[in-house]
Amino acid sequence: MVPQKDGLIVNISSVGGLTYLFNVAYGIGKAACDRMAADCARELKRDNVTMVSLWPGAVKTEYIEENVFQEGGFMNRPKSQNIFKDAESVEFAGQAVVKLSEDSKRISKTGKILWVSDLAREYGFKDEDGDIHDSRSLKNILKATGYTWLPHLIPRFVRVPLALMHQAGNKF
């Protein structure tokens, strides 16, 4: 990519890089993906190579299907089912990568954390079910964390600002 003066490198990360999610190793790995994207972007930008960290929301993988929704799955409980009920397909993140690769101005995103749902809005694509599963939607966050009546009062377009998420990860 460097000799060609063009390229795109995408790390798949998650909110687990910002706050505890699943276990210690998961969080360390995701934080490292985010840091790697930021640091590599500094060195690769002069060669027009874009490096980003891509954050899907909750994703309904085969592993999740087996362990959350099937009888006997070790995560088969209401809280897990709430989180993954309206989850993204694995293809949704794939569409984001394709659209990024086609963007002639993608270098402006280098070093950043990019939400799949934000890219879906920017580039105009939807998940295979015709929806944009917005992980930053306050309504969706409240539903996933077990609130029952409160999400009905909040419009879907109310989203948690990125600056607030940054502050949530501030450790000083």
Is the pLDDT at 79 greater than 90, yes or no? no
Do residues 159 and 134 make contact, with C-beta atoms less than 8 angstroms apart?
A: yes
Is 26 annotated in the active site?
Answer: yes
Is the pLDDT at 168 greater than 80, yes or no? no
Q: How far is CA 12 from the centre of its chain?
A: 8
Entry pTM:
0.86
Q: State the pLDDT confidence band at 113, using cuts at 50, 70 and 90.
A: very high
Q: Which of 20, 26, 123, 147 is catalytic?
A: 26
Domains observed in the chain: 7-168 (3.40.50.720)
Residue 12: predicted pLDDT: 96
| Residue range 64-75, pLDDT digits in tens | 888 777 777 667
Is the pLDDT at 163 greater than 80, yes or no? yes
Q: Residue 96 CB: number of other CB atoms within 10 A?
A: 26
Is the pLDDT at 122 greater than 90, yes or no? yes
| Residue range 1-48, pLDDT digits in tens | 999 999 999 999 998 888 888 889 999 999 999 999 999 999 999 999
Do residues 56 and 88 make contact, with C-beta atoms less than 8 angstroms apart?
A: yes
**DSSP letters for 104-165:** TTGGGGTT-EEEHHHHHHHHT---TTS----TTBHHHHHHHTT-SSGGGGS-TT-B--HHHH
Highest mean pLDDT among 15-24, 98-107, 141-150: 98-107
Question: 143 Cβ partners below 8 Å, 6+ apart?
Answer: 82, 86, 151
